[in-house]
Amino acid sequence: MGKYSLLSNVYFLGGFATMGGMLFGFDISSMSGVVGTVRYQNYFNHPSSSLQGGIVASMAAGSFLGALLAGPLGDRISRKRTVMLAASIWIIGSIIQCAAVGAGMLIVGRIINGVAVGLASMIVPVYQSEIAPKNIRGRIVSLQQWAITWGILIQYFIQYGCSFIESDAAFRIPWGIQIVPGLILLIGISFFPFSPRWLADKGRSEEALQVLADLRAGGDKNDPAVLAEFKEIQDAVTFDRTLAARSYGELFRHPYGRRVFLGMTLQSWSQLTGMNVAMYYIVFIFQGAGITGNANLQASSIQYVLNVVMTVPAILFIDRWGRRPVLLIGSTFMALWLFLIGGLMGKFGSPLESTDGNSTTTWAISGNDSASHAVIACSYLFVCSFAISWGPVSWTYPAEIYPLRIRAKAVSLSTASNWAFNFILAYAVPPALEHIQYKTYYIFAGFCVAMTIHVFFMFPETKGRTLEEMEELFNSDVPAWKTRSLPASKLEHDIEVIQAEQLNEKHEVK
């Protein structure tokens, strides 16, 4: 029986690291809970829809930069230390945001927070994918999305509780509390092991083998499963060293260009579903459904709870269901709910002068409770559809499809794509809600239809394969929709070979 500790438990390591994702969730709720309140609107002089979009989008702009920096940093200083850097930057940004005395200072704090979120959101899935065994890799990386949903929920209830405070503390306390998870992440991650694949890539083979043995077999370096996986990693590293020096240019050339494009488009599509817009501007969306005041905040809280709860089935079953079916079914249903929301608001809504002092909500349903409730129900179903599908898979898929040689840089580009569209949408949606109103939902529904088609024709199934086996999968000529029927992973065969060799050695010794 091998030794056991929390620091060799993949679930604990992968779960704790997702506190980096929780920072993203905290940031989403740090704005959604206050943008519609009187105290926030009064203190920041009733920001126009464009300025409000800029305030929210500033975080995504910082995250775009952070995601791009995370690739080189992850390769140079390690995955683990990049997470520690992200936590440190987050603490600084939260202090500035909490002390903001105007929109300018608030934007600066959010940009700094965004850099931290960009670093963490890129490097945490890479770290998770590199420590997890193939049969639960999807589950471990999906914890990232679950942590995001928990961050959204926790911060939202903090916001809700503080909304009853009759002073600026109503929004300063929630922004200041964000420092706490940053401190916990910074201290905790410092005790974590390095990624075994990063160690192998740096020529630290003995350390890599020991970490892999700790993660897979209680420290037993002679375990057949450990030796088989370690051999795969070593072979990949050895092959890498026969190639030219690494550069960003090779990411866009054969044989990597297709995969890089898939990762970037998948993360872009996850934003074009409209989910994060729904999280940021849920107060405005429910105002459009005719729900205001505390009733709005309470209705919003239900949406956040559903987001947490419905991510759980994906975590439990993603490695059984596969990536493709989850993506296809999720985007199909999201398109349905968005078309219904747009249709209901277009049919039963009417122009509105202003709501609670903001200029964003210019179209709302009034005097028709059935239509209002139907819009809210569709909004809840939309969130459920995202939470069980695109939410977790959009982090899992890009983190597992690249070879070690380009993994950090390629995932940084896919994550940067996520943040680029997050920025564009966060900035553009308030003016869209103001000027084209319910038609905004038709746009996102159209995106969901397009992404369904794209996934069906272009995205191979990756479940049940080691990271090193992705090379063969993506270099095959098998169409994406037929990849579920390909032979299973070769790792089990390699383990059996090593077991047989060890058995023969024991017999020879006797």
Supply the pLDDT for residue 460: 95
- Measured between alpha carbons, how far is 406 from 413 in angstroms, rounded to an integer? 11
The mean pLDDT of the chain is 88
For 329, the token pair is: 């079914």
Q: What is the pLDDT of residue 295?
A: 66
pLDDT at residue 426, rounded to an integer: 75
pLDDT one-digit tens code per residue, 87-138:
999 999 999 999 999 899 999 999 999 999 999 999 999 999 999 999 999 9
Which two structure tokens, joined as six digits, stand for 390?
């695109």
Give CA–CA dist 128/142, Å, rounded. Answer: 9
Instruction: State pLDDT tens for residues 302-337.
Output: 888 999 999 999 999 999 999 999 999 999 999 999
Residues 397-439 have pLDDT tens digits of 999 999 999 999 999 999 999 999 988 887 787 788 778 888 8
Instruction: Check residue 1 and give its pLDDT.
Output: 39
Residue 120, number of CB atoms within 10 A of its CB:
34
Which residue stretches of the chain have pLDDT < 50?
A: 1, 355
Neighbours of 344 (CB within 10 A): 23
CA distance 58 to 61: 5
pTM of the entire structure? 0.88
Output the pLDDT for position 160: 78
User: What pLDDT score was predicted for residue 401?
Assistant: 94
Residue 395 structure tokens: 């982090």
Question: C-alpha 124: how far from its chain's center?
Answer: 9
Check the CA dihedral 51-56-62-65 and report its sign.
Answer: negative
Domains and CATH numbers, the chain: 6-195+231-236+250-485 (1.20.1250.20)
What is the rounded distance in angstroms from the CA atom of residue 304 to the CA atom of residue 379?
11
Look at residue 281 and give its three-state secondary structure: coil
Phi, psi of 45 (to 5 degrees): 60, 45
For residue 249, what pLDDT is reported? 85
- Cα-flanking dihedrals φ and ψ of residue 389, to 5°? -135, -90
> From residue 421, how far is each of 70, 125, 207, 272, 328 by CA, in Å?
18, 19, 39, 7, 21
Burial class from Cβ neighbours inside 10 Å (0-12, 13-18, 19+) for residue 9 reads middle
Would you say the C-alpha torsion 293, 295, 300, 305 has a positive or negative sign? Answer: positive
DSSP states of 184-198 as a string? HHHHHHTTSPPPHHH
